[in-house]
Amino acid sequence: MAYTIVTKNTVRDRFLPAPRPDVWKGVEDKDWNNWIWQQQKRVKSFEQLEKVVNVTEDERTAFAKSNEMFNMGITPYYASLMDPNDPNCPIRLQSVPSIGELSVRDIDLEDPLGEEKDMPVPGITHRYPDRVLFYTTHNCPVFCRHCTRKRKVSDPSSAAANKQLEDGLNYIETHKEVRDVIISGGDPLSNSDDRLEYILSRLRAMEHIQVFRIGTRNLVTLPQRITDSFAQMLTKYHPVFVHTHFNHPKECTQEAFDAVARLANAGCVVNNQMVLLKGVNDDPKLVMELNHKLLMMRVRPYYIFQCDMAQGISHFRTPVEKGLEIIESLRGWTSGMAVPHYVIDGPGGGGKIPLIPNYVKSHEGKKWTLRNYKNDTFVYEEP
Ligand code: SF4
């Protein structure tokens, strides 16, 4: 029997292009879609910000007092997602300084993940037995206000010079137990294609390296960075995993959809690491919507991170119960693929500690009394 196949795939149409605010209406598409133009035109001053949104007095004060500690930098693309009239807009909360940043509590930590103490050579964090984190740049297209590496990111004195890069590569080369390298920063896609390809080619030439992951938020903040030629370059070095950081459904635009498609079509696996942030995504329905959108974009929701104890971000931290509530609202109620791992990074360098709601009601000998997602009870007996 002959089948008539009519292909109609409209998934992409479910994602809207980012709007273009008045201030950039006259920009030609060839510039707007060019990642270098986007980098060069980043919103860095308060005067520029005032042209994009109706700023509040709190934002003005916060900018004046925080900019020296942690710069503001927002790509026109990401700024275009901001609601000009809502200071609580989730995009704005993530990218415009707020008063909360100015308070540092006694319990806050400068290096919340203890990365510096597990650093055998500058730029390499070697904490787990078989994998390392490789710091390759201090720069990012957008300086996220909730960044856990504020102590280094945006600070030119933390730049990864070529000598540091070589020392890091040499360390990995001589440590045969390392099979997985997380290429990080800052945002590693702030490096040029040539510099990134140099790193990837060196790593791929090492027999003991099995996989590497590129940890980048460019898919969210500067999707134009994922050019066809960049994606094509990656195909030479598979398996390449890309770990990104979508936090809100508003970030799932057609531009982001296309950027992920370029990577996925080039054979990359793309995972998402959401950070749980008060006022941005501490809402079970919203996280479900985000995860559904991510799956349609071919991004697997992988982690939800509890917000770290970094200095100046305590206003973003939620109770731990909120994370458990979100997982409980996903598990069973939607596809397992849309249920990420909820983890707390052990403060001071404990590594990722998973947290899951308790589904065990009791356990006696070989008998386990369990509840399912609807709270119905089931008994499982071991042989
Ligand atoms: S992209 Fe990542 S490293 Fe850069 S500012 Fe945002 S959270 Fe920090």
Q: Are 95 and 280 in contact (CB under 8 A)?
A: no
Q: Which residues contact 58 (CB under 8 A, 6 or more apart)?
A: 87, 98, 99
- Ligand 1 atom with least separation from CA of 148: 8
| Residue 358 pLDDT | 97
In tens digits, the chain (383 residues) has pLDDT values of 889 998 899 999 999 999 999 999 999 999 999 999 999 999 999 999 999 999 999 999 999 998 888 899 999 999 999 999 999 999 999 999 999 999 888 888 888 877 778 889 999 999 899 999 999 999 999 999 999 988 878 777 778 889 999 999 999 999 999 999 999 989 999 999 999 999 999 999 999 999 999 999 999 999 999 999 999 999 999 999 999 999 999 999 999 999 999 999 999 999 999 999 999 999 999 999 999 999 999 999 999 999 999 999 999 999 999 999 999 999 999 999 999 999 999 998 888 999 999 999 999 999 999 999 999 999 999 99
Cβ 144 under 6 angstroms from ligand 1: yes
Per-domain boundaries in the chain: 20-102, 124-354
| Residue 67 pLDDT | 82
Q: What's the pLDDT tens digit per position in 116-138?
A: 788 899 999 998 999 999 999 99
Is 198 considered catalytic here? Answer: no
| Residue 225 pLDDT | 98
| Residue 289, amino acid | E
According to DSSP, residue 354 is labeled: E
Nearest CA to ligand 1 atom 6: 144
Residue in 147, 252, 268, 307 annotated catalytic: 147
The phi, psi pair for 301, rounded to 5°, reads -65, 120
Task: Tell me which architecture the domain covering 124-354 has in CATH.
Answer: Alpha-Beta Barrel (3.20)
| Residue 88 pLDDT | 97
Distance between CA atoms of residues 204 and 176, nearest Å: 13
Residue in 89, 92, 144, 250 annotated catalytic: 144
Cβ 150 under 6 angstroms from ligand 1: no
Q: Which helix (H) or strand (E) holds 305?
A: strand 300-306
| Residue 368 pLDDT | 98
Nearest CA to ligand 1 atom 8: 147
Is 149 considered catalytic here? Answer: yes
Q: Are 66 and 98 in contact (CB under 8 A)?
A: no
Is 352 considered catalytic here? Answer: yes
Q: Edge-to-edge strand order for the sheet containing 269-276?
A: 124-125, 131-135, 180-184, 211-215, 240-244, 269-276, 300-306, 341-346, 351-354
Q: In 3D, which of 221, 268, 170 has the Cα closest to residue 38?
A: 221
Cβ 72 under 6 angstroms from ligand 1: no
Q: Are 294 and 300 in contact (CB under 8 A)?
A: yes
- Report how far ligand 1's centroid is from the alpha carbon of 133 (Å): 15
Would you call 281 exposed, middle or buried from its count of C-beta atoms within 10 A (0-12, 13-18, 19+)?
buried
